[in-house]
A and B are shown apart, each in its own frame.
Chain A
């Protein structure tokens, strides 16, 4: 590793613009003639739209256009879709209800967009939005998934009887039931995974610009995957064909999944730009974000885990109801199925598993992937159950886990996944050492003297990243392939542009991707530019989510670099009159191995473009494109240990120590990897202690601002102790597994295991807020 190569702790190239206020986010974009939009949204969770009267609004100062769903439909704009087909166990396809970008007949959650107002200023747009008169007939609403399935519950979509979207299963029901029947011990739990709001700090925004002269659309949008946005808006929403639609996702202020999806607003802004003849910008305020960004999690599950007399797991049975909200968001169906139930084997050798999953419509915001997406839910079930089992069996939680670890690879689980490499014992040992697990009893006794309850909890997680082998996901219902593409352009002076379909919204690709190029060619990272986020610049792409940019995006770059290297070596061999097979790249030059004959990198590049002296028949230029389709998922894993101290008088939980020991495979930049883990852990601790979206029975979101939704703040968190012990991933050329989601996946059960340990109770609801903890302590005393 050089000082800028793979594995080096390099400060980020992109930081300069962010720390000087020169970042360019969607709301910073200005187009000549640009006007501002406000959406009129449903104040009701469930209602029929009887009448929409826009006359008063149209007459307001500065108003340019007031447009409704009927006009949108008349122009042929399509409904939003879910792009992953799931079939119920009876073979029937999932029941996708119609989701018009602007509701015209019925609204199904508070925040459902109904009318767009375009005006000279944002203030005027909002003033006019208030003047739109909509007559609703309110209907009964239902917000909880379990209640939506009850007989007589309000019917949200005509397509889905009793609000059931699909009833799906995986694994062997018979064998699992038999294992439970024959078990020496069965641990049973009911587990709720609380609903979260992703809360990227940059609110969603869209700027739609229709150019009449060229009949061409441009959309600046807060997207993690601009090419997917273009594809979906073209193929399904009929906004414009792909060649007439450019999607630009400039600097994007965090995503965490919530900016994967194509929302009504960007579609409507593009359409409205054509209708009104002006570029239309919309920026969400925070409450709009709370109401309309896709939420995460919201599962209710029952589990049964069977053990034999040696405390080996013999079977695991799961029944889950997942709340998908009012409409099926773009990837909502795969989150509680293939991103969830396929991970239910965790790090354990479990002979048989069965999971049944029912997904349900409710009158709440749509639910889709949020950091971890399905894998945190699976990990939470497993790791809470393992903890409970250890307590019931009277054995050490660490040893129960260790006894059941998978130790030989590859390992085929009963739920599709084939784990390629790992060393779960190594992570467990590392976490126990760093946390001084052995010294916990002493610390607990010392805390007790101060009147504090101290507890410790662990969590051994696994996830499937590097999403995903296209043929495999295609066979499971995915509507798209999940490859990635890259183009490497070597300029005539040897500087390099890498065009990637991955999108960086905090991950530091401009640095890590350049480090890979530096590693291969010795070119300084300042001479390497990473281009992303613009469909007119970058050939194709599938974007960034599921910890895929390293394992899949960089693998595509690596493949393109292979091609560039092969051609460069041919040129160098020709220039040096040597055999192509003898050329090596060292210190920024191409050399004949074992000699001092060499030609500098930039001269090879120049030779490629002057084309004065190339091997016979070689095309000029040094630019290559590659697509990479992974052969398998990757399997990051690790062990997290959390230690808490609870003030029993107030119920306040302090995290006194948090240790993470991860296995991410090969690492490009440890500084960036640590940052990803820190952020993930903060979100996981947020889920466990602080965050929860809360609807009242009528469907009003009570936690619709930071006044009521508790975001983790600096004072809520400790500094984290993170380390890695890595086994390279055999499935991709770089040996990378991915690190973006691990923190959010592994941490919630560790926190809750610690809290229940401190109080001496079996379970506590997330978020374990002070009032919840206080009530649990009180209940435990009585």
Chain B
């Protein structure tokens, strides 16, 4: 790791000020940023730690509206009883991220701001039509996630929360990379008042995306059987030593089917 200057932010406003230092980066759980710094792939001059800002932590559910503070850990998302009732699929998703020690530190805000193409949360937020709240504005998920490790965030802009309307039905199915345990394919399906939406992570060569083929097949009947014989094109899917694009395409259909079955269960 290169030398770095650490700052602990007392508030979001404080963080916004501190992040103007040099080539500063925001630090939340650090589960991606610190490994990247250790291998010297990331070299920020300064780190602004958001993890102790109380305002950024916790899950709120009011009616159908769910709001999750950006610095809420995966562990707290997975184990929040209100969320387990309002949107069990998202709590379940959080319980599948990394391992127990990673979930104790990693946060939802950190994960989405990083937008790793194999991360789990982006699929959920895209499928849920969530809103990403920053210290400056609100951004819808479809505008927020922009390709590999790219988001709509401007320099120094801080994610403070995500919010969404709890859907009637939802589920997430993840097929792990056997080595890294990130998603090779993760499919989040939602049946809400605006219809069906299906988002896929781990597979797209430009990051998280919605699968038109799966959504079309489910539009009439939200049933696993509706996906029999549905083919997802391998075009624009990633290919690496762990999974070819053909394999990923096949897995998308399989995981979607299992997710729909789980959502209906």
Contact = CB atoms under 8 A, between A and B. Distances in A.
Interface of A: 123, 126-127, 130, 287, 649-651, 690, 694, 702-703, 706-711, 716, 769-771, 774-775
Contacts of B260: none
B180 A706 contact: yes
Interface stretch (B106-114, B136-144, B236-244): B236-244
Contacts of B2: 127
B12 interface: no
Contacts of B243: 771
23 contacts: A126-B40, A127-B2, A287-B39, A649-B254, A650-B251, A651-B247, A706-B179, A706-B180, A707-B179, A708-B179, A708-B241, A709-B179, A710-B178, A710-B179, A711-B179, A716-B178, A769-B178, A769-B242, A770-B175, A770-B178, A771-B242, A771-B244, A774-B250
A132 to B, nearest CB: 15
Nearest to A772: B247
A703 B251 contact: no
A598 B251 CA distance: 77
Contacts of B39: 287
Top-10 shortest CB links A-B: A710-B179, A707-B180, A710-B178, A649-B254, A771-B247, A771-B243, A708-B179, A694-B241, A702-B241, A774-B247
Max chain B C-beta neighbours (<10 A), residue from A651, A706, A716, A771: A771
Contacts of A126: 40
A707 B250 CA distance: 23
A703 B179 CA distance: 10
B1 interface: yes
Given A127-B2, A650-B175, A769-B178, 8 more contacts: A130-B40, A650-B254, A690-B178, A703-B179, A769-B242, A770-B175, A770-B178, A771-B242
Contacts of A708: 179-180, 241-242
Interface in B1-40: 1-3, 39-40
A703 B180 contact: no
B212 to A, nearest CB: 22
Contacts of A716: 178
A744 B226 CA distance: 45
Contacts of B179: 703, 706-711
A108 to B, nearest CB: 23
Contacts of B241: 694, 702-703, 708
Contacts of B250: 649, 774
Nearest to B178: A710
Interface string B111-150: 0000000000000000000000000000000000000000
Contacts of A287: 39
A215 B178 CA distance: 51
Q: How large is the interface on B (under 10, 10 to 19, 20 to 34, 35 or more residues)?
A: 10 to 19
A703 B177 CA distance: 13
A775 B39 CA distance: 34
B246 to A, nearest CB: 8
A127 B4 CA distance: 13
Contacts of B254: 649-650
B63 to A, nearest CB: 38
A501 B194 CA distance: 74
A460 B215 CA distance: 51
A197 to B, nearest CB: 12
Nearest to A767: B178
Interface in B214-246: 241-244
A547 to B, nearest CB: 29
A553 B41 CA distance: 47
A710 B244 CA distance: 17
Nearest to B181: A713
A651 to B, nearest CB: 8
Nearest to A652: B175
Interface string B167-192: 00000000100111000000000000
Contacts of B180: 706-708
Max chain A C-beta neighbours (<10 A), residue from B1, B39, B175, B241: B241
A717 to B, nearest CB: 13
A123 B247 contact: no
Nearest to B253: A649
Nearest to B257: A649
Contacts of A774: 247, 250
A650 B175 CA distance: 8
B3 to A, nearest CB: 8
Max chain A C-beta neighbours (<10 A), residue from B2, B40, B175, B179: B179
A344 B179 CA distance: 33
Nearest to A775: B247
A417 B9 CA distance: 71
B178 A123 contact: no
Contacts of B242: 708, 769, 771
B129 to A, nearest CB: 28
B166 to A, nearest CB: 30
A771 B176 CA distance: 11
A650 to B, nearest CB: 6
A714 to B, nearest CB: 11
A17 B120 CA distance: 40
A742 B179 CA distance: 25
A651 B178 CA distance: 12
A650 B187 CA distance: 14
A649 B40 CA distance: 39
Nearest to B185: A650
A688 to B, nearest CB: 13
A130 B3 CA distance: 14
Contacts of B40: 126, 130
A711 B179 CA distance: 7
A649 B251 CA distance: 8
Contacts of A710: 178-179
Max chain A C-beta neighbours (<10 A), residue from B1, B39, B178, B242: B178
B262 to A, nearest CB: 15
Contacts of A706: 179-180
B190 to A, nearest CB: 22
Contact of A123 (B1, B244, B251): B1
Contacts of A690: 178
A770 B250 CA distance: 12
Nearest to B250: A774
A708 B184 CA distance: 12
Contacts of A775: 244, 247
Max chain A C-beta neighbours (<10 A), residue from B1, B2, B250: B250
A694 B39 CA distance: 20
Contacts of B247: 651, 771, 774-775
B44 to A, nearest CB: 16
Nearest to B1: A123
A707 B41 CA distance: 15
A85 to B, nearest CB: 37
A623 to B, nearest CB: 50
B253 to A, nearest CB: 9
A771 B238 CA distance: 14
A126 B40 CA distance: 10
A709 B179 CA distance: 6
B106 to A, nearest CB: 16
A602 B243 CA distance: 67
Nearest to A706: B179
A51 B137 CA distance: 54
Contacts of A123: 1, 3
A58 B2 CA distance: 18
A769 B240 CA distance: 13
A287 B41 CA distance: 14
A707 B176 CA distance: 12
A709 B178 CA distance: 9
Contacts of A702: 241
A706 B39 CA distance: 13
Contacts of B1: 123
Nearest to B39: A287
Nearest to B99: A713
Contacts of A703: 179, 241
B226 to A, nearest CB: 16
A490 B39 CA distance: 52
A706 B243 CA distance: 16
